[in-house]
Structure 1
Amino acid sequence: MRGQADLFQGLDVIAPSVQKPVTSDIQLKPQGQRRAFRLDPANFEMAADSLEASGQYRILRRLLPRPVTASRIALPGGKLAVIVDTETTGLDHTRDEVIEIGMVAFSYDEDGRIGEVVGTFNALREPSVPITPEITRLTGITPDMVRGQSIDLDAVEAFIQPAHLVIAHNARFDRPFCERLIHGFSLKAWACSHAEVSWSNFGFEGSKLGYLLSQCGWFHQGHRAVEDCHALLEVLAASLPGDAGSAMSHLLISARKALLRIWAEGSPFEMKDELKKRGYRWNDGTNGRPKSWFIEIAEDAYEMELTFLRREIYRRDVEPFTQKITAFERFRSTS
């Protein structure tokens, strides 16, 4: 193996000053007197490994999308999932419009092991309303980029048709926009990698995609639809700390569980703060659902929640309207 000093030949790299002695072939000058090295591009990975091994550096590698295989068919015993991401003119799916959609289709098995990428899709769309400077700042999409562009909806329908599962990092946002584009999205089971993986339990201090990706050792060009899909795939494939398996395995466990949505209809107004504290959310009734506070809980928590409502909120026997919610209904705007 080449000596560590030999790695630093070919490219200028500035070595940071350190306060403790470094045992290596490279002699660093005191603080304020930095030494430049030439690093051969052929040795980038060896140099990165050496820096990580020192314990004084953390390396982020540029995310390179996985190659796409020729077949769109799942392997025997396997299934297909589609990661989807949308960029829009705003947050309201009833009024705002999709200006970009990106998708990555991949195979997986029942245990959450991720196989090959079998297809990608990306398209821009010119909206009927102007793209604001704020949306351009957030998405990187300018009016010039979308001028004259449209999304081939038949192609989108064909792309998602074989999928057993659709995954988004904020499915509560993306699913309503996608369903407004294509009816086929409403027929699919959905999973949310943001809400259905307990990232904090695995030592992550945040759940934004860019943060999760950096914790897995990668960086990418964020806020463009298909790039974010590739990024999410690597986050789902990464091994979690403590031999906890992959994030995909935990996402599948969550997605397979049915939830109960309990509606606290007619609850006393003065109890609204208690409901909020408990995790209830308000629905204003404009989406066809009850105008009421509601909560989604695991099936085995139903009796405890019913006791809470009867004793703390209504203070009488009630039988609240309750719905069973599976991955096919979860995150829908009108479910």
Structure 2
Amino acid sequence: MKSISSQFDLFDDAPGYRQTPRATPRKRKSESPSTPPGWDDEEAAQRLEQGGRYRILRKLVPRPIIPRAESAFPNLAVLVDTETTGLNHAKDEIIEIGAVAFTYDDEGAVGDVVGIYSGLRQPSDPIPAEIIRLTGITDEMVAGLEIDVAALDALIEPADLVIAHNAAFDRPFCEKLSPTFASKAWACSVKEIPWADLGFEGNKLGYLVGQSGLFHEGHRATDDCNALLEVLARPAGEGGAPPFSQLLRSSERSRVRIYAENAAFDMKDHLKGRGYRWSDGSDGRPRAWWIEIDDELEEEELRYLRTEIYGWEDAEPLIQRLTAFDRYRT
């Protein structure tokens, strides 16, 4: 998820967006002064794994940044993660935002990292103790700091797709920070990838990273973006396709949100059992049970409501048609 030194990002000496990478040191054999001469960490790890009694996690190493013009992949996506003072975007505030831009092709193959932004921000009120415990971000770390919105916008503006691991949480906070986010297509790597079908035991980022054979320093925005990118890019499931390819296909499909307005109270268990959720109207939605489905399932769902809930063939429930540009807004 979601320091002032090491926080800014894993590459920069100061906060902000940068496209030009540093020189990469020559690859050396994995030795350290504390290990015997000739020792190779990776070789040792592979030997342990071959016996079937051990599973080794590798430390996640962020991908190098290259200039956008040097990537052969035509499309651009940006992974975004926020750390906030609470869960309510209407009153809580962003205290950290991280973004990692990467290229991809039309088939969903992940290309290169071409930009990164990370920044801290001092909120109006002191950071709650629980947030400090979760994120490690303290009032001293954010004192006097502001997010460079212009630098962040420069990364977001050319993106074809913005991705968050729980976009329904991150999008409202991001749109409150900058209107540039409002005009973008969004995808959610929690809801739009069938992780269980790909052999994962959960959709929390820690589970996904661990089951991908990696570990990382979690609960900091840019670190989590780099971790999610590796999970999205690695082959998974029987077909061995990267999960990002499924996310891309999902983002291209339109969906419908159907509201069972004025449904009888005694129908609530039926609706809940079918996957409907309750909206109390406080977020601007109608006060009703609702469901979001692929558009090809619309007629089937309307038939269910007319026969099982309303008992009236001419009933016309409220329908909202959604694309990636509309989803995950409040």
TM-score (normalizing by structure 1): 0.86
- Residue 140 of structure 1 is matched in structure 2 by 136
Pick closer, same or farther for the CA change 1:140–1:165 going to 2, 3 Å. Answer: same
- Residue 49 of structure 1 is matched in structure 2 by 46
- Give the Å deviation of 1:39: 4.9
- Give the Å deviation of 1:72: 3.0
- Residue 117 of structure 2 is matched in structure 1 by 121
1:181 and 2:177 equivalent? yes
Q: Runs of at least 4 residues of structure 1 off by over 2 A?
A: 7-11, 38-42, 72-77, 286-289
| CA–CA distance in structure 2, aligned partners of residues 256 and 40 of structure 1 | 53
Any conservation in 2 of the 1:10–1:41 contact (CA below 8 Å)? no
Pick closer, same or farther for the CA change 1:299–1:60 going to 2, 3 Å. Answer: same
- Give the Å deviation of 1:275: 1.1
- Residue 273 of structure 1 is matched in structure 2 by 269
Structure 1 stretches of 5 or more lacking a match? 1-6, 12-37
Structure 2 stretches of 5 or more lacking a match? 1-29
Pick closer, same or farther for the CA change 1:165–1:9 going to 2, 3 Å. Answer: closer
Secondary structure of the 1:228 match is: helix
- Give the Å deviation of 1:186: 0.8
Match of 2:241 among 241, 245, 250: 245
Secondary structure of the 1:156 match is: helix
Pick closer, same or farther for the CA change 1:300–1:42 going to 2, 3 Å. Answer: same
| CA–CA distance in structure 1, aligned partners of residues 102 and 36 of structure 2 | 36
Pick closer, same or farther for the CA change 1:40–1:179 going to 2, 3 Å. Answer: farther
Aligned residues: 300
Higher relative contact order (CA 8 A, sep 6+): 2
Any conservation in 2 of the 1:80–1:105 contact (CA below 8 Å)? yes
1:316 and 2:312 equivalent? yes
- Residue 34 of structure 1 is matched in structure 2 by none
- Residue 14 of structure 2 is matched in structure 1 by none
Any conservation in 2 of the 1:74–1:80 contact (CA below 8 Å)? no
Q: State which structure, 1 or 2, has the greater radius of gyration over its C-alpha atoms.
A: 1
1:80 and 2:76 equivalent? yes
1:332 and 2:329 equivalent? yes
| CA–CA distance in structure 1, aligned partners of residues 134 and 308 of structure 2 | 43
Q: Which amino acid in the other structure matches residue 309 of structure 2?
A: I
Q: Which moved more, 1:120-129 or 1:286-295?
A: 286-295
Match of 2:206 among 210, 214, 236: 210
- Give the Å deviation of 1:138: 1.1
| CA–CA distance in structure 1, aligned partners of residues 175 and 77 of structure 2 | 17
- Deviation string 1:14-65 (CA, Å, 9 cap, x unpaired) is xxxxxxxxxxxxxxxxxxxxxxxx5558511111111111211101011111
RMSD over aligned Cα atoms: 1.8
1:200 and 2:196 equivalent? yes
Q: Which amino acid in the other structure matches residue 321 of structure 2?
A: K
Any conservation in 2 of the 1:122–1:225 contact (CA below 8 Å)? yes
| CA–CA distance in structure 1, aligned partners of residues 56 and 73 of structure 2 | 37
- Residue 58 of structure 2 is matched in structure 1 by 61
Structure 2 counterparts to residues 292-311 of structure 1, below 5 A: 292-311=288-307
Q: Which amino acid in the other structure matches residue 294 of structure 2?
A: A
Secondary structure of the 1:306 match is: helix
